[in-house]
Structure 1
Amino acid sequence: MARRTLTIAAALAATATLLLTACGGSNDDSSDDIKGAETGASSPSASASGASDADRPDVSVPKDLDLVFDFDKPSDAKQAAALADAQNYIRALDHGIAQQDPDDPAYQFYSDGNASQYAKSQIQAWVKGGWTVTGTDRYYNADTDTLSDGKRVLVNFCRNQAKFYGKEIKTKKVLRTKESLTSFQKFTMLMFPPSGSSQVWKTQVIEVKGKAKECQE
């Protein structure tokens, strides 16, 4: 089964120099699930990050996938915008899986560098497996922090994917799993601010820690 996973210790070590000015990231298959086609859920409002829906790509997901972001909105406008587009990156990744398109423009719109490479590799794994997404995917306990440069924002949040399943595209069979420590993940995303006329915060580095005990509910 495909897994949305990353060992960020390796990622950040490999891109420590780039982190000072740009991007980073890496892959590993440690311990987390995002299992794998119709689409239909409406795309999210982008008002929190300052751009109209007309400026943004479709990030709709299948009607039988419920993406839940149980977050409090940060009081800091910059951090709120970064968190909103971190959510859009997650939506875009699932949109690409549902579309079965490793080159889907949605995730490319919300990411650069290794975060973009990571999204592409995840979508490719689902396409190879013949899966799409279904169920309920819940994200919670978000926190944000502006880095010392006053520009970039670090976003952290938890995930419970116990009810998030893969579905075989050909047979429509849902590949159900039981909740375990593997169901819980900790996401860390380095968000870069808009440049030029853009109002989009882009994910440059993503860390996904599997078997995250600190995220167990």
Structure 2
Amino acid sequence: MARRIAPIAATFAATAALLITACGGGDDSSSTDDIQGADTGSKSPSASASESADSDRPDVSLPKDFKLVFDFDKPSDAKHAAALADAQNYIRALKHGIAKQDPNDPAYQFYSAAQAAQYAKSQIEEYVKGGWTVNGTDRYYDEDTTTLNDGKGVLVTFCRNQAKFYGKEIKTGKILYTEESLNSYQTFRLLMVPPSGSSEVWKTGNIEVMGKAKECQ
């Protein structure tokens, strides 16, 4: 579980400046995601991962017994909408890497940089080490988007309910069911770095995950 960083917007703003100019160098705060928990919801969904599109975007398909739900509304601001859509793509790519059991999967690398790429790799490695894949329904909701002080990066925040998201043992097919509790709820904060050059991709440069998020219940 991630440690709480107090002035999160200020920290992300400083990191954004580094990422935008140098394209690298996140901090060490790679939070460990809960292996077995996460549910989903369904408002009017924002632009889905498959909608925001370069022809070169990687495959982020998921197993049939796993449902990833983003219960988001699409922001009216085009920049915020694009950042939110690629924040979803990053989460989807991370789950795709787990399903593929590949800590070096190109999908999450396409949608992330610096610390966020390290975080995704560490999450996939944990599942590979445990012999687990994803199962059930993973829900993300209560999104918010904020332009950072640099005027370029966007801070994306949302809640997660893991109550109906489970690990599944690859060898046996056994589903590792868990009971809903405060541990089921998390808050995510993603620093989205704007596209550079001819790219249209917003990359996740930094991610913070806070466990036992009462505000998400």
TM-score (norm. length: structure 1) = 0.85
* Paired residue secondary structure (2:156): strand
2: CA distance, partners of 1:28 / 1:158 = 15
Change (3 A) 1:27 1:131: same
Task: Write out aligned runs for 1:190-201 (5 A).
Answer: 190-201=191-202
1:97-140 CA-to-partner distances (Å, cap 9, x unmatched) read 00000000000000000100010001001000000000000000
2:207 matched to which residue of 1?
Answer: 206
SS in 1 for 2:212: coil
Residue 45 of structure 1: aligned partner: 50
Task: State the alpha-carbon separation in 2 of the partners of residues 124 and 10 from structure 1.
Answer: 28
**1:44-80 deviation digits (Å, cap 9, x = unpaired):** 4233xxx33x220000111111101000000000000
Q: Give the whole-Å Cα distance in 2 for the aligned partners of 1:76 and 1:144.
A: 10
Which of residues 18, 21, 40 is equivalent to 2:18? 21
CA pair 118-171 structure 1, distance change in 2 beyond 3 A: same
Q: Among residues 3, 14, 22, which one is paired with 1:7 in the alignment? A: 3
The equivalent residue for 1:143 is 144
2:211 corresponds to which letter in structure 1? G
For 1:10 and 1:127, the matched residues in 2 are separated by: 32
Give the gaps of 5 or more residues in structure 2: 20-24, 38-47
Does the aligned pair in 1 maintain the 2:16–2:191 contact within 8 Å?
Answer: no
Deviation at 1:33, TM superposition (A): 1.9
Q: How does 1:39-188 map to 2 (within 5 A)?
A: 44-47=49-52, 51-52=53-54, 54-188=55-189
TM-score norm. by structure 2 comes to: 0.85
Stretches of structure 1 lacking an aligned partner (at least 5 in a row)? 37-42
Corresponding residue SS for 1:95? helix
Cα gap change, 1:8 to 1:196, in 2 (>3 Å)? farther
Q: Distance in 1 between matches of 2:146 and 2:201?
A: 18
Q: Give the count of matched residue pairs.
A: 200
Residue identity opposite 2:30 in structure 1: N
Amino acid of the residue matched to residue 73 of structure 1? Answer: K
Per-residue deviation, 1:16: 8.1
Q: Output the CA distance in 2 between the equivalents of 1:14 and 1:146.
A: 14
Q: Mean alpha-carbon deviation: is it higher for 147-156 or for 75-84?
A: 147-156
Check 1:8–1:60 CA distance in 2 against 1; reply closer, same or farther (3 A cut).
Answer: farther
The 3 A distance-change label for structure 1 pair 148 and 213 is same
3-state SS of paired residue (1:209)? strand
CA–CA separation in structure 2 for the residues paired with 1:62 and 1:107: 16
Q: Secondary structure at the match of 2:18?
A: coil
Q: CA deviation at 1:8?
A: 4.8
Q: Distance in 2 between matches of 1:118 and 1:144?
A: 21
Distance 1:189 1:203 in 2: 6
The alignment's C-alpha RMSD in Å is 2.3
